[in-house]
Amino acid sequence: MGSARLCSWALGSALAVAVGVGLPGCERGEGETVTPGEGTATPGEGSPDASAEAQRVTLLRGATVMTATGETFAPGAVLVTGATITAVGAADAVAAPEGAEVIELAAGQVLTPGIIDTHSHMGVYASPELTAHSDGNEMVNPITPYARAADGFWPQDPQLAHALAGGVTAAQILPGSANLIGGRSFVIKLRPKARSAEDLRFAGAPDGLKMACGENPKRVYGDKGGPGTRMGNVAGYRAAFQQAVEYQRQWDDYERTLALWETGRSGEGEGDDARPVPPPRDFGLETLAAVLEGETLVHMHCYRADEMSLMLELAASFGFRIRSFHHAVEAYKIADRLAAAEIAASVWADWWGFKAEAFDGVRENAAMVSRAGARAIIHSDSPEGIQRLNQEAAKAMYAGRRAGIEISEDEALRWLTINPAWALGVDEQTGSLEAGKAADLVVWSGDPFSVYTRALQVYIDGELVYAREGAPGRPRSDFDLGLRDALEDAP
């Protein structure tokens, strides 16, 4: 029945099994052959091998190594100690320490950082598509900063395993775009066998705030009391952030008064020893205050150039920054402004025309944003597209080249790796192959920008979590098991 694959993504059920992480053709130390399933088992919660796994040393060498830093080594090598990359370079320049496991990759294979998607609704719009699984839009009020995507996230969503098979190692899970302010997003690593959103949360990654401009909010709320126009949209943002400013001021005043009271200098006269009373806590305004303080990153669904420009002005008036515009089909019109403001543009390769605000989309969008010096990102906003983000980047790269914009493969790789890592505030932890960063890696069967290429192995924090062949196999949920035979017969 294939128990090594059965429910290997799903909630920690009795069907989930620990499997070995050995690969065919691997060596340990002085040429000792490692066979599938031999050696240290896949570590898990409470695993007796967890401490040993933390010190495990693995050298992957022989493939072309694309680092997303401007350097490519052909052939190259990546040395991993525990969860961390400790060396990257030419294959003959990175030595295997004594006792290290050596994985000889084939010539023609390519090793890259894991793909990072800045825009996903996996888990909050889970598969199969049912009303019961629709947990991404709290459509009761256009301003819902108190809502959190993590609270509506289903970790058994089969789409997570599908994304992993496409080489995705991290993603931002966002609320939808029905509301002006939809709530908090969070960043995950696609670790199999998670039992909660917190099991998947990217440690240390800041939360985001999902905002939306344009057609969606006014369409949803036009007959529900507003906003019904773009004027109303902007008035809604302005009112919400003004409330956050006042909320922040109340807490600043309280903390100042409390500090004086604690030092016996309350200023209320001798004999006054009543402790100051804090303002009522408001989770929504607390989220917006975190934006004002730079602790929470703003990710804004916005298509048109004029609206992006307007949002830049509004953000500046309240003293906060937008980290990335999402969808941004007209980003090419203000690419210079995005570069000057250090704002990323998370875009599709070629989606356009499906509504009025998308009619000026062009295939050269990402390339034009890159040429201006801004950070272009290829995102999915789709459980299907996330499985082929490497191909989406290829389409955008070649569209730019046809227009006379020279886009290197390294730059196109950055659209999927270090640029989204920056947008999510985790670029010091992941997104490129550099010593000291997390060992989030993908081994591709060939050129990652070819439609014929497949992800062969995926590592997250140094752990092999996906293998197209051999252990640990392809994580699948119960929902996918009916397709098992068809998937196994697929080329």
| CATH number of the CATH domain containing 79 | 2.30.40.10
Answer yes or no: do 33 and 45 share one domain. Answer: yes
In DSSP terms, which residues pair with 70 in a beta bridge? none
Answer yes or no: do 196 and 313 share one domain. Answer: yes
Answer yes or no: do 128 and 105 share one domain. Answer: no
Answer yes or no: do 102 and 193 share one domain. Answer: no
Peptide bond into 491 cis (omega under 30): no
Find out whether 36 and 21 touch, Cβ atoms under 8 Å. no
Q: What CATH number is attached to the domain comprising 371?
A: 3.20.20.140
Neighbouring CB atoms inside 10 A of 406's CB total 10
pLDDT at residue 185 in the model: 99
> What is the percentage of the chain residues whose pLDDT exceeds 70?
85
In a domain, 257, yes or no: no
Answer yes or no: do 364 and 417 share one domain. Answer: yes
Q: Give the predicted TM-score (pTM) of the model.
A: 0.87
Question: Which stretches of the chain score pLDDT less than 70?
Answer: 1-54, 265-272, 482-491
Answer yes or no: do 395 and 353 share one domain. Answer: yes
Strands 344-347 and 72-73: unpaired
Number of domains in the chain: 2
pLDDT at residue 481 in the model: 73
Answer yes or no: do 194 and 291 share one domain. Answer: yes
Answer yes or no: do 457 and 325 share one domain. Answer: no
In a domain, 247, yes or no: no
Answer yes or no: do 174 and 73 share one domain. Answer: no
pLDDT at residue 480 in the model: 75
Distance, in Å, from the CA atom of 309 to the CA atom of 334, rounded to the nearest integer, reads 8
- Domain extent at residue 99: 26-113+431-472
pLDDT at residue 120 in the model: 99
In a domain, 263, yes or no: no
pLDDT at residue 269 in the model: 52
Instruction: Describe the crossing of helices 283-292 and 230-262 by its angle, rounded to 10 degrees.
Output: 90
In a domain, 253, yes or no: no
pLDDT at residue 148 in the model: 99
Answer yes or no: do 216 and 173 share one domain. Answer: yes
pLDDT at residue 348 in the model: 98
Q: Which of 491, 490, 458 is nearest to 21 (CA)?
A: 458
Answer yes or no: do 197 and 311 share one domain. Answer: yes
